[in-house]
């Protein structure tokens, strides 16, 4: 193996857990296999999308030749620097959130809450390493996939290079994901800042943290770090945080942030950053007022850019955009019909479950649609998502505005958790279930849930949308009492009540009379 083909990877800190992680997802002594004559599928990138395509195709037991190429860590963002580490850290932060509010539940915590930040991060590293075997090079090799560690680039219409190896393919899949957008604020590169790629390597708590960007990454991590004991200032360009979400939902989370002591700087313009002896000094303007704040660390959550560089896409006629990534049609086919793409590299939905669902479409469309027959479409997916703040915001389907833009008349049913017994018992009344349905019909078009475990509740509505179960049928589903999910049934019952017109009431009156 040549040196250019394989580079050892270090994940900091270099403790036993990170060594175990690397031993699975980028084994230091991995020897790339000798390529077969021609692969049915060559998959570039071993994040969620690439892993699902490779495992799905090889696991069919049809003797397909599948190659998977990863330049860094198998498992991609989700396992290594995304969902998994963030949710582990958020779990520790939730314990603190519970303790902060303990008095409301009649529990006095007499001692100062002492967050052992190094232990929080160690727990995360331990759990991450513990599940990493699932994405390991060895496991994929055992599934029958040829795993190549190294940087992939297209050499011609039917070949990909990895180091000194040439892989011939019938079809290829680009699944190279995205990375944190660099911030273009004067002085910030010199001052240095954290992204999702480095924040999970912290072992000491930054006392003062500036988070730039009030999207899902910025908000999830701002709240977690605040609860873990940092002073947090969250900078956001918009007039409120999480501005892609339902505005009522975002408002609830924003109020919690303020209560918990996160300093919000909204409508901000970052001007420059200076490294001083006191720390990193950020100069900004907000609603026409100039100000500055000094912190120990800056964390960027300011959007993602696709990993299109170095793939030599021009050679194979795959069109792309530096912002939106690889261009695909609804079948996830690129402008080169033999090359497909899936996941963050080509989709607006930048979620692990979206990458997984897209990968399944790619398997069907690359392998089981002769002459393009029976192809599956991305636009047919019903995509839920969850932002893991506390409370969580979960959403599926359309928003009101989207429906209006499409000319669909809609009604919205909103059930506040202040009317749900279990939420009252839990002290979690600040939230709601909002269901959007077609006017004059019980067809559900979308839903937003704001609740501590909204992510666990949204799938009921997703199932209803996917399988065209209307509110009338949902109203007949018994929900255990007391649960927060009862709010969904209450919404369905509220719809049923709207059917009680004077005419139906008269009919019911007759039934009563003759019963």
Ligand X SMILES: NC(=O)c1ccc[n+]([C@@H]2O[C@H](COP(=O)([O-])OP(=O)(O)OC[C@H]3O[C@@H](n4cnc5c(N)ncnc54)[C@H](O)[C@@H]3O)[C@@H](O)[C@H]2O)c1
> From the annotation, which residues make up the binding site?
87, 213-220, 303, 344
The set of residues, in sequence order, having a beta carbon less than 8 Å from that of 465 and lying 6+ positions away, is 382, 396, 397, 444, 445, 446
Residue 40 CB contacts under 8 Å (≥ 6 apart), including other chains:
57, 64, 65, 66, 169, 170, 171, 367
Would you tell me which residues interact with ligand FAD (CB under 6 A)?
Answer: 44-50, 69-73, 76-78, 82-83, 86, 151-152, 175-178, 196, 217, 307, 310-311, 343-345, 350-353, 355, 388
Kindly tell me which of 362 and 491 has the beta carbon lying closer to ligand FAD.
362
User: Which residues, 193 to 252, sit near ligand X by CB under 6 A?
Assistant: 212-218, 220, 235-238, 243
Q: Are 488 and 477 within 8 A, CB to CB?
A: no
Copy the structure tokens of residue 248: 């009522």
Helix (H) / strand (E) containing 216: helix 216-227
Output the known binding site for FAD: 87, 344
Shortest distance in whole angstroms from residue 320 CB to ligand FAD: 13
Token pair of 412 as six digits: 């919205």
385 lies in the binding site for ligand X (CB under 6 A): yes
Determine if 357 is a binding residue for ligand X (CB under 6 A). no
Q: Which residue is nearest to ligand X, using beta carbons?
A: 215
CB burial of residue 396 (10 Å; 0-12, 13-18, 19+): buried
Out of ligand FAD, ligand X, none, what residue 218 binds, judged by CB under 5 to 8 A for its kind, is ligand X
Q: Which does 490 bind (CB under 5 to 8 A by kind): ligand FAD, ligand X, none?
A: none
Residues in the chain: 515
Which entry of ligand FAD, ligand X, none binds 273, CB below 5 to 8 A by partner kind?
Answer: none
> What count of other Cβ atoms lies within 10 Å of the Cβ of residue 119?
10
Helix, strand, coil % over all residues of the chain, rounded to 5: 35, 25, 40
Give least dist CB 464 to ligand X, A. 21
Is 454 a binding residue for ligand X by CB under 6 A? The answer is no
Tell me if 170 sits within 8 A of 338, measured CB to CB: yes
Look at residue 358 and give the partner it binds from ligand X, ligand FAD, none, a contact being a CB closer than 5 to 8 Å depending on partner kind: none
Paired with 167 in beta bridges are 160
Cβ neighbours around 107 below 10 Å, total: 10
Nearest CB to ligand X, comparing residues 243 and 412: 243
CB closer to ligand FAD, 387 vs 475: 387
Residue set of the binding site for NAD(+): 213-220, 303
Q: Which of 98, 28, 389, 352 is nearest to 221 (CA)?
A: 389
CB atoms inside a 10 Å sphere around CB 359? 27
Cβ proximity to ligand FAD: between 45 and 229 the closer is: 45
Q: Closer to ligand X at the Cβ: 171 or 304?
A: 304
- The least CB distance from residue 121 to ligand FAD, in Å, is 14
Q: Kindly list the residues in this chain that would bind ligand X in the complex (CB under 6 A).
A: 183, 212-218, 220, 235-238, 243, 268, 270, 301-304, 350-351, 385-388
């Amino acid at each position: 193996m040549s040196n250019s083909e394989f580079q050892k990877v270090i994940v900091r800190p270099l403790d036993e857990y990170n060594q175990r992680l690397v031993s699975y997802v980028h084994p230091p002594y991995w020897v790339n296999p000798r390529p077969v004559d021609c692969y049915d599928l060559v998959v570039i990138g071993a994040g969620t999308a690439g892993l699902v395509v490779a495992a799905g195709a090889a696991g069919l037991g049809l003797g397909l030749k599948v190659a998977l190429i990863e330049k860094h860590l198998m498992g991609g963002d989700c396992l290594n620097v995304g969902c998994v580490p963030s949710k582990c850290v958020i779990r520790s932060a939730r314990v603190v959130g519970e303790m902060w509010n303990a008095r409301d539940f009649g529990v006095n915590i007499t001692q100062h809450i002492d967050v052992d930040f190094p232990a929080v991060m160690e727990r995360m590293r331990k759990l991450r390493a513990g599940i990493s075997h699932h994405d390991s090079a060895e496991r994929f090799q055992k599934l029958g996939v040829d795993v190549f560690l190294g940087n992939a680039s297209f050499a011609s219409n039917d070949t990909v290079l990895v180091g000194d190896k040439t892989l011939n393919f019938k079809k290829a899949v680009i699944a190279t994901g995205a990375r944190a957008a660099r911030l273009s604020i004067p002085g910030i590169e010199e001052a240095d800042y954290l992204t999702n790629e480095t924040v999970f390597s912290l072992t000491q708590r930054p006392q003062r943290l500036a988070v730039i960007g009030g999207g899902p990454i910025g908000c999830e991590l701002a709240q977690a770090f605040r609860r873990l004991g940092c002073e947090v200032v969250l900078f956001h360009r918009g007039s409120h945080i999480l501005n892609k979400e339902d505005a009522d939902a975002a408002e609830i989370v924003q109020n919690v942030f303020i209560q918990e002591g996160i300093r919000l700087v909204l409508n901000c313009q970052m001007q420059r950053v200076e490294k001083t002896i006191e720390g990193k000094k950020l100069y900004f303007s907000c609603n026409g007022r100039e100000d500055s704040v000094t912190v120990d660390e800056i964390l960027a959550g300011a959007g993602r850019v696709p990993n299109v560089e170095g793939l030599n896409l021009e050679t194979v006629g795959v069109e792309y955009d530096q912002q939106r990534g690889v261009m695909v049609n609804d079948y996830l086919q690129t402008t080169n019909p033999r090359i497909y793409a899936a996941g963050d590299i080509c989709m607006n939905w930048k979620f692990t479950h979206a990458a997984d669902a897209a990968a399944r479409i790619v398997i069907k469309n690359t392998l089981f649609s002769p002459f393009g027959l029976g192809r599956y479409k991305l636009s047919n997916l019903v995509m839920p998502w969850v932002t893991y703040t506390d409370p969580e915001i979960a959403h599926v389907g359309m928003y009101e505005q989207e429906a209006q833009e499409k000319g669909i008349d809609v009604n919205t049913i909103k059930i506040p958790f202040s009317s749900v017994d279990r939420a009252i018992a839990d002290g979690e009344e600040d939230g709601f279930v909002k269901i959007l349905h077609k006017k004059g019909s019980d067809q559900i078009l979308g839903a937003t849930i704001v609740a501590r475990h909204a992510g666990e509740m949204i799938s009921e509505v997703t199932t209803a949308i996917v399988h065209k179960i209307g509110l009338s049928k949902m109203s007949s589903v018994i929900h255990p009492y007391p649960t927060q999910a009862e709010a969904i049934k209450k919404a369905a019952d509220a719809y049923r009540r709207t059917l009680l017109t004077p005419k139906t009431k008269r009919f019911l009156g007759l039934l009563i009379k003759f019963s």
